[in-house]
């Protein structure tokens, strides 16, 4: 709306200048019409400024992130048991499965201790008595 009104204001002003230079008979009547048209367009331009929406308020700042890194001993990777190779017997396969089961069980235990450590760290960070003001 504002752009259209400003273009019309420029066009009317240009027409008034052209008519004033080349047409002398209707000089007063033309200038009066152009002046009224310019005032109307100027009011439209200024009204466009009033109807502009206010920018939205800034969102509140995000809380500080809680950094709870697990100790290095909890995250070190244990090597996988070696697979039997060559001429293997049922006893070799059973021993490998037992070792694989123990290896997996130790991994799950380690994972549960990392989760417990992270949960304790997060609860300590959210504790109101621990925060400094």
Domain ranges of the chain: 2-50, 72-130
Regarding predicted confidence, which is higher, 2 or 63? Answer: 63
**Is 60 exceeded by the pLDDT of residue 130?**
no
If one counts every other C-beta atom within 10 angstroms of the C-beta of residue 26, the result is: 11
The whole-model pTM stands at 0.44
- Highest mean pLDDT pick, 17-21, 42-46, 67-71, 87-91: 87-91
**Is 60 exceeded by the pLDDT of residue 15?**
yes
The tens digit of pLDDT for each residue in 33-76 reads 777 777 777 777 777 666 667 788 999 998 777 778 888 888 88
């Amino acid at each position: 709306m504002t752009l259209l009104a400003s273009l019309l204001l420029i066009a009317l002003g240009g027409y008034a200048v052209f008519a004033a230079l080349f047409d002398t008979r209707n000089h007063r009547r033309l200038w009066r019409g152009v002046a009224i048209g310019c005032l109307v367009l100027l009011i439209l331009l200024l009204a466009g400024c009033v109807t502009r929406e206010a920018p939205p308020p800034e969102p509140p700042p995000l809380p500080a992130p809680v950094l709870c890194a697990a100790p290095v001993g909890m995250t070190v990777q244990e090597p996988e048991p070696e697979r039997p190779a060559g001429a293997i017997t049922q006893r070799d396969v059973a021993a490998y499965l037992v070792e694989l089961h123990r290896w997996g069980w130790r991994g799950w235990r380690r994972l549960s201790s990392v989760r417990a450590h992270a949960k304790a760290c997060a609860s300590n960070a959210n504790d109101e008595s621990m925060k400094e003001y």
